[in-house]
């Protein structure tokens, strides 16, 4: 491979400027920030990266502080792009921006005419648990991911579990599926001071000790099981520990809302901040919690448990899909739908300080397995292989 040959990467930045910033947006932003830092190194001087966003959205990328990327405007507004995608009328993206390696971080790719493309497919929840996905979105993902994988040079995913599922379902060679693991930004997620914890708790109406859950309030996150487990705790524990739920309301959450209202009516302290919880405040809320519970029925990876570990908070997590990969031996793992065992493990962890210290220590070790810089380096390697 010629040393002079440049490596050109184009990243579809739609998820970075989307109105509803999601976990996919966070993942994309963190990998790109790590890639941006790597490009200061002269070893990567022949790599150029462009981030493309829809018409009228270019100014919204300023908040990320990218210094080594060229920002490109896709000459179509987002609403029009979505309409064209729904009708299978998207034009080849490389007609606008030339021959490059095109990375599409949100499952669905544009067609390309003379360039290689790589979609990021985080998990197959829309296939394995369609009842937990909004019907229109489920239908769109089913169609778009099939097309995107069929025309891809490689596929990126975020866990060994997702890699195997993608390979099995789409009959796609495992060797052509690259794993770029999520990680924790250690500059942001670390144990905060007592003063910062108390200030942040007061800001969101949280007083005393508490158990924390972070994630969208939707069926796949299995909040009903967590609520049942809390409901079944001895009264003296309920009086000492509240349950703090931090996350946006998601799809099909009526049953969750009704259960929370019922519990509050009976005097149980289930707290949902009225105000949107700023991302900068979440590390302090993790730090103040006595334990973090994350018992989803399915995940592509599971970031909140390792964020909790980075903040010195022990974790109870479910033992399905990719979650065991994320938490390793650093969390207490249970069957997702077993609320009785969850109750038992909450009691055990809250009542045994030596056990809490053990999992806190293991958590600090576990988070060091993952690095945004390592994932950004793996992305560069993939780009080199595309030449």
Count of structural domains within the chain: 2
The answer to whether residues 131 and 112 touch, using CB atoms and an 8 Å cutoff, is no
Q: What's 350's domain CATH number?
A: 3.40.50.2000
Tens of pLDDT, residue by residue, the chain (387 residues):
445 689 999 999 999 998 777 789 999 999 999 999 999 999 999 999 999 999 999 999 999 999 999 999 999 998 999 999 989 999 999 999 999 999 999 999 999 999 999 999 999 999 999 988 888 989 999 999 999 999 999 999 999 999 999 999 999 999 999 999 999 999 999 999 999 999 999 999 999 999 999 998 888 999 999 999 999 999 999 999 999 999 877 767 788 989 999 999 999 999 998 778 898 999 999 999 999 999 999 999 999 999 999 999 999 999 999 999 999 999 999 999 999 999 999 999 999 999 999 999 999 999 999 999 999 999 999 999 998
25 with 150, same domain: the answer is yes
Does residue 107 fall inside a structural domain?
yes
141 with 211, same domain: the answer is no
257 with 120, same domain: the answer is no
Q: Which of 355, 353, 332, 354 is nearest to 343 (CA)?
A: 332
Helices (H), 204-274: 223-231, 235-240, 254-265
65 with 166, same domain: the answer is yes
12 with 161, same domain: the answer is yes
Q: What is the pTM of this model?
A: 0.93
The answer to whether residues 306 and 163 touch, using CB atoms and an 8 Å cutoff, is no
Does residue 1 fall inside a structural domain?
no
106 with 156, same domain: the answer is yes
152 with 292, same domain: the answer is no
Q: Which of 96, 118, 122, 98 is nearest to 109 (CA)?
A: 118
What's the CA gap between 149 and 118, in Å, rounded? 8
200 with 319, same domain: the answer is yes
Does residue 2 fall inside a structural domain?
no
Token pair belonging to 61: 């990328």
Does residue 234 fall inside a structural domain?
yes
**By residue range, what is the domain housing residue 220?**
194-367
């Amino acid at each position: 491979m010629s040393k002079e040959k440049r490596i050109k990467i184009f990243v579809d930045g739609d998820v970075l400027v989307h109105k509803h910033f999601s976990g996919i947006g966070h993942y994309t932003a963190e990998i790109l920030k790590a890639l941006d830092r790597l490009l200061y190194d002269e070893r990567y001087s022949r790599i150029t990266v462009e981030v493309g966003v829809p018409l009228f959205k270019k100014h919204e990328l300023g908040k990320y502080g990218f210094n080594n990327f060229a920002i490109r405007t896709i000459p179509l507004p987002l609403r029009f792009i979505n309409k064209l995608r729904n009708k299978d009328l998207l034009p080849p993206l490389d007609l606008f921006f030339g021959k490059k390696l095109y990375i599409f971080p949100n499952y669905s790719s544009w067609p390309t005419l003379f360039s290689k493309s790589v979609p990021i497919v985080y998990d197959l929840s829309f296939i394995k648990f369609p009842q937990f996905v909004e019907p229109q979105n489920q239908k769109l993902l089913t169609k778009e991911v099939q097309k995107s994988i069929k025309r891809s040079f490689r596929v990126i995913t975020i866990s060994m579990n997702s890699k195997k599922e993608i390979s099995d379902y789409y009959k796609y060679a495992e060797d052509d599926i690259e794993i770029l693991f999520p990680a924790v930004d250690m500059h942001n997620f670390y144990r905060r001071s007592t003063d910062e914890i108390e200030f942040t708790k007061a800001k969101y109406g949280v007083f005393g000790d508490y158990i924390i859950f972070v994630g969208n309030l939707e069926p796949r996150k299995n909040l009903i099981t967590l609520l049942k487990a809390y409901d079944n705790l001895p009264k003296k524990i309920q009086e000492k520990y509240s349950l703090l739920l931090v996350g946006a309301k998601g799809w099909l959450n009526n049953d969750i809302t009704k259960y929370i209202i019922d519990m509050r009516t009976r005097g149980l302290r289930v707290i949902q901040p009225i105000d949107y919880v700023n991302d900068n405040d979440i590390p302090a809320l993790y730090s103040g919690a006595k334990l973090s519970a994350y018992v989803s029925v399915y995940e592509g990876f599971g970031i909140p448990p390792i964020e909790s570990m980075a903040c010195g908070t022990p974790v109870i997590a479910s033992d399905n899909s990719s979650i065991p990969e994320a938490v390793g031996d650093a969390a207490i793992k249970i069957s997702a739908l077993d609320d009785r065992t969850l109750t038992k493990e909450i009691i055990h962890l809250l009542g045994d300080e030596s056990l809490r210290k053990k999992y806190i220590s293991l958590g600090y070790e576990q988070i060091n397995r993952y690095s945004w810089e390592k994932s950004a380096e793996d992305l560069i390697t993939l780009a080199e292989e595309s030449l």
